[in-house]
């Protein structure tokens, strides 16, 4: 396979990112790829926050993967900074080819570079393959993740 | 019981916050209440981030509860903003008295005020009472929470 670049997303990447968010068993019901305006607005907000990185993986000028990395300073664990990974998506053409691993390793390296001592993420319990995937990367499934819709 | 105030923490609250972080089955091994310097440094970082709120519950001039609320803008779910609650601690004298509920409800109201459409948190699987507590407040235990120590 040709070279892969992982970099910070720019506005022009939004249509490809949203297409990946929607091409997903859970995302299909939640996203609106026909109306990109809420995504552009959210990207503006996100871009103003220096603790947020929307990352994209690019191969041959095509966006083939994405995730959001958030840096969270905090008091607990002796004033530790932690990071949170959200919205990991791999293009259907690239699934099973190791790109997910590359993207998560990128996020872990970036978290280390930003002095985090903990990386965390949650995965819907219905994503049965995710547990094996994250455990193989060294993550421990030590927590229950709760959500409240407002 | 006398009136309770929930407000943003100030620097003077740090010793009481750290004492609560340490007075906890898991926190006891992770915190260093005898050396507050890393906590003061972390509080400075946290205070510079407008998406972070370290909240304290105060009764009769005593800090009796705390949590950290982080606002996260994002692309997924049609550009939704979500919030994350971390480090919920209730002073030993106040446990079982409904303060945990008051604090979480405050965080949910504050999330709504900041236009979040989702509130999330994780709880260590060994905290067996937590699941019932959060479910009673309307949270759904829909996710697995993964952590990687760096």
pLDDT in tens, B89-138: 999 999 888 999 999 999 999 999 999 999 999 999 998 889 999 999 99
Strand partners, B33: none
User: Count of CB atoms within 10 A of residue A148's CB?
Assistant: 20
In this complex, do A139 and B118 lie within 8 Å of one another by their Cβ atoms? no
Reported ipTM: the value is 0.92
Q: How far apart are CA A94 and CA A86, in angstroms?
A: 19
Contacts of B117 in chain A (CB under 8 A): 149-150
Strand partners, B22: none
CA of A10 vs chain B CAs: smallest distance (Å): 13
**pLDDT block averages, 10 residues each, chain A of length 150:** 89 96 82 92 94 96 96 95 95 91 97 97 91 95 96
pLDDT of residue B1: 59
Across the interface, of A38, A72, A75, the residue whose CB is closest to B70 is: A72
Q: How far apart are CA B56 and CA A26, in angstroms?
A: 36
Considering only residues 36 to 65 of chain B, which have any Cβ-Cβ distance to chain A shorter than 8 Å? 38-43, 45-46, 49, 51-52, 54
Considering only residues 68 to 127 of chain B, which have any Cβ-Cβ distance to chain A shorter than 8 Å? 68, 70, 72-81, 84, 86-87, 108, 111-112, 116-125
pLDDT of residue B36: 95
Flag whether residue A137 sits within 8 Å of chain B, measured between CB atoms: yes
CA of A117 vs chain B CAs: smallest distance (Å): 5
* pLDDT tens-digit map of B29-60: 888 888 999 999 999 999 999 999 999 999 99
Buried b (16+ CB within 10 A) or exposed e, B119-129: bbbbbeeeeee
Contacts of A18 in chain B (CB under 8 A): 75
- DSSP letter for A13, please: G
């Amino acid at each position: 396979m040709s070279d892969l670049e992982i970099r910070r997303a720019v506005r022009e990447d939004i249509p490809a990112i949203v297409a990946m968010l929607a091409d997903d068993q859970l995302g299909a019901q939640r996203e609106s790829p026909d109306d990109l305006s809420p995504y552009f607005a959210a990207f503006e907000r996100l871009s103003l926050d220096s603790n947020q990185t929307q990352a994209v993986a690019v191969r041959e000028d095509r966006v083939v993967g994405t995730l959001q990395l958030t840096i969270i300073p905090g008091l607990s664990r002796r004033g530790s900074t932690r990071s949170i990974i959200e919205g990991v998506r791999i293009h259907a053409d690239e699934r099973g080819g190791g790109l997910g691993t590359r993207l998560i390793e990128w996020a872990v390296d970036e978290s280390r570079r930003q002095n985090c001592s903990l990386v965390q993420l949650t995965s819907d319990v219905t994503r049965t393959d995710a547990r094996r995937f994250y455990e193989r990367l060294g993550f421990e499934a030590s927590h229950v993740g709760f959500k409240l819709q407002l």
